[in-house]
Every structure is written in structure tokens, then in C-alpha cells.
Structure 1
């Protein structure tokens, strides 16, 4: 009986060691595969950060030019003392884009628009960009009147903006008086601010107290008003594009740092597991040699 139990104990011990080694090797293999995948992700995010950094420089250059024209339009409305008429119906134009991986750029626009639509549930909405569209239409699909995409894949051009402005203004099937532009204003390389621009109809501009100081003929007033809207829309598009590129660079930089932290932690875990396997093998060799 004692001999049988001793033989059974000797035969079971190597099997347990083999199982333990197999589990350790499987774990090390999983860690090694995960290290490779995260390293590849880190290379991709680093490349995307470099590309976004190049685009930020170009976007800021275009933004400075658009701001000059946009500030002129804002000064004209301010000096003319144009005020929103009581009971005026507004069309909300959300200036977004089609691309993601840029932090909370689109979520901020959608949240601001949903808050406004909660107070004015009958206001029509026109959306530029698929990202904001997918977020707004979940709750306010009935408010959506226009949807534009494939705009501003590079730096937005004034021709694209003029085409959008013409479509919105020329369509008489939707009733609205004023237009509210909702966009992301570029504040710094790491910050943006969701801002509004009010666009008024020609009738409200004529009735403004300070408009009489401007010598504008009535036959060109409508063209001036259309240009003001197109100019403000282009300003919002270029500002939003610059904010998007800056947010994308920041997001890719943070993703690269996070990938580096995970790689460092997994490397330490892999080395500890490998040392454990080597130590166990040495113990088995020394124990076997001592038994012999």
C-alpha cells in the first residue's frame, strides 16, 4: 500500500509541473501578443498626431484670414444696432464635420443644440457634418431640414460655403426669420468654445437704429444680407476646422501616452512572468539533481 501511494505521488508531480509551465507560457504568449498590438497602435497614433500637427498650422493660417472678414460682419451688425425681433423664428445651423477621433468636439455641439431645441422644440435644424447629425437625430429627427456632408475634408473653401448658403436661403418651403450658427470657436491649441453667431434678415437690418448712417441702396441690401450670412458661415466652418484639428492632435497625443504607459506596464508584467518561469525551472533542475 505504501509503495503504491509513493509511486502515485511521483507520477502525479511531473504532471502538475507540466500544467503549471503550460499555463505560464500561455500567459506570457498572450502578454507578448498584446504588447505587439499596442505597439502598433502607438505607432499609428503617433503618425496621426504628426499629420494633425501639420494640418493645425494650415488651419490656423486660414482661420486668421476668415476672422478678419467675420469680425467686419460682426462690427457692422453691432454698430447698426440690429436686434432680434420678438417672436422671430430661428433656423439653427450646426457646423460640424464628418470625422471623429477629436475628443468632445461633436458632443459639445450636439449638447448645445439639444439644450436649445428643448426650449424651442419647433425650431428647424440644418446640420453640416455626419457626426453631429447622428447625435442630434436620435431625439430631434423631426426638426432636421437639411443635412450636408463631405464639406471641409481639407480647409473649407468659400465656394463650398456659398453653395450651402444659397441652398438654405433660396428654399422657401421652410419658414424662418433669423439664422443661428452654432460652431466651435478656436480658443487655444488645447481648448475650444461652443459659440453662436446670429444672422438677421434684411427687414430687421433696415429697421435697426444705426443702419441709417450707412448708405446702402435697397436693391443691393438683399445681396449684402446673403453675403453676410455666407461670410459668417465660412467663418464658423474655418474656426470649427481649426478647433477640430487641434483637438485631434491633442487626442492622438494622449492616446500615444496612454499606449506608452500600457506598454511599460505589460513589459514589466512580461518580465516578471518570464523570471518566474525561469526560477521554477531552476528549482526543478536543482531538486532533481539533489535527488539523484
Structure 2
């Protein structure tokens, strides 16, 4: 009997505290936490699957990139040996290499920002932009709508081929866009955890034929034109393939980070659910003890 009397004040205090907490703002119920937990687990499954897919594609993209880089190095060597100098008031064409796919971090924003910064530093009023991929197009059409002359989509679904690059180069050359030099802005593959936006330059047959190194040799006009067009297609191919490898690598890293964040959220929600469940069990025990003591 003494035990029951001694227990009643403590029980009354617990019941009063519980009634006071009911007047506080409503918190998440266990059902809501359980639904959130289920949603996050489903998202984690998706991000892990996408990471595995990107990891599988990355090997193929890196193999193609190692081959395509040779094309870019050959172009650079050609222009360096020719001692090309850009003419005064040269018309610049900026080709921005991105893709149509997302979920790969800020890789598309990097080339857009690099292009806008390059145009501002160039200071020329005659800048023209050609965009490869819908992602960069959506960004640059808001900031430089009057400079965008052409855009291409269906980019980045598969590893680019030289035929794709040749088709893009032919479309640009026959579109009526006039330029003296080309700045191809793309994402350079630096490591498995990073990339940097950079440029690869190309020049027209007119600028090539007037270079100091090229004047030393007798070249037919048609041969010079073909060489310049082939170099242009080479540069597009090299930047497309390296940009594709950088994108796949960025998507894998983005999905890996998303999976880690989902795992941390799952642990937090599990802890929150367990605490709520324990509080619910405690309240039920208090109700039982209160009812028993009142009898």
C-alpha cells in the first residue's frame, strides 16, 4: 500500500507533463517518418544504380578519350608549327561543348561561365556562339541571346564519333556564320574526382594560309581549305569525346555523393523513428500504470 501511495505523485507529474506537451506544436508522426524513410531508401536505390551505370560507361568513355586526345594534340602541333597569329579585329566563334543530360553536378555550368568570362575578356563586339547540347543552351540563351547563332541537341547519349563531329563541322561551315578563329570551350578530364573548363583553338583556311610557317611552303588553295576543315572537325571530335568522359565521371561522383547523403538521412530518420516509438511505448505504459493505480 505504501508503494502505491508513493508512486502516485510521480504518475500524476508524468501525466501532467504529457498533457502539457499535447498543447505544443504538432511534430511528425511515426507514420510520416516511416513514409519519408521509405522514400529516401527508394532514392538511395536509384542513385546507387545510376552510379553503377556511370561506372560501367566510364571505362568505355575513357578508352575513347585516350584516342581522341591525339586528334587535339595534332591540331595544336599544326597551328604551333605554322606560327599562327590571330588577325586584328578577328571574328571569334565560341563553340560550347555540353550535352542534353543532367544529374552530373555543375559540369554544364562550368563551360557556360567560362564562355561568358572569355567573351567579356576578349572585348570584341563581334562574338558568335554555337552550342552543343541543350543544357548549356538553356543557360547561355538567357545571358547572351543575341550571340547564339546555332545549337545542336541529341548530344551525349552515346560516345561521340568522328562522323558526329564531321557532321557538326559541316553544318557550321555551311550555315553562313563568318569567323576567323574558333574557341572550343569544353571540360577537360583532369582526374577521377575533377575536371576543368578549358579551350581548344582552331582557325580558318584564310588565317592558316597567311601564317608565317605556312607561307614557307607552296600549297594549293583547295588543299589548304581541306586541311583547315579537317582540323576543325578534329578539334570538335577531341573536345566532344573528352567532354563526354568528364560528364560521365561527374555523374558517377554526383550519384556517389547523393547515395552517401541518402544513407546519412536514413540513419537520422531511423534514429528519429526509434526515439518516437520509444516515447509512444512510454506513454502507453504511463496510461496503463495510471489506470491500474486509479483502480
TM-score (norm 1): 0.89
Name stretches of at least 5 consecutive residues in structure 2 with no aligned partner.
1-14
Query: What corresponds to 2:34 in structure 1?
Result: 32
The Cα shift of 1:60 comes to 0.3
CA distance in 2, matches of 1:167, 1:132: 19
- 1:85-124 matches, cutoff 5 A: 85-118=87-120, 119-124=123-128
Distance 2:275 2:203 in 1: 68
SS at match of 2:85: coil
1:253, 1:25 → 2: CA distance? 32
> Deviation at 1:178?
1.2
- Determine the C-alpha separation between the residues in 2 that align with 1:291 and 1:163: 88
Q: Is the 8 A contact 1:24 1:277 kept in 2?
A: no
Q: Distance in 2 between the 1:122 and 1:209 partners?
A: 26
1:27-79, Cα deviation, whole Å (9 max, x unpaired): 11000000000000000000000000011111000000001122111111112
Correspondence list, 1:226-245, <5 A: 226-245=229-248
CA distance in 2, matches of 1:161, 1:182: 15
- Shift of the alpha carbon at 1:214? 5.7
Contact 2:187 2:242 in 1 (8 A): yes
CA shift in 2, pair 1:25/1:274, >3 Å: farther
- 2:8 is matched with none
Matched, 1:157 2:161: yes
Task: Answer whether contact 1:24 1:273 (CA < 8 A) is retained.
Answer: no
Question: Where does residue 7 of structure 1 map in the other structure?
Answer: none
Partner of 2:278: 275
Query: CA RMSD, aligned part only?
Result: 2.1
Unaligned runs of 5+ in 1: 1-12
| SS, match of residue 46 in structure 1 | helix
* Contact preservation (8 Å) 1:52, 1:245: yes
> Does structure 1 residue 223 correspond to structure 2 residue 226?
yes
Identify, as 1 or 2, the structure richer in helix: 1
- The answer to whether the aligner puts 1:132 opposite 2:132 as a matched pair is no
Number of positions where the alignment pairs a residue of Structure 1 with one of Structure 2: 276
**What is the CA–CA distance in structure 2 between the aligned matches of 1:114 and 1:69, rounded to whole Å?**
26
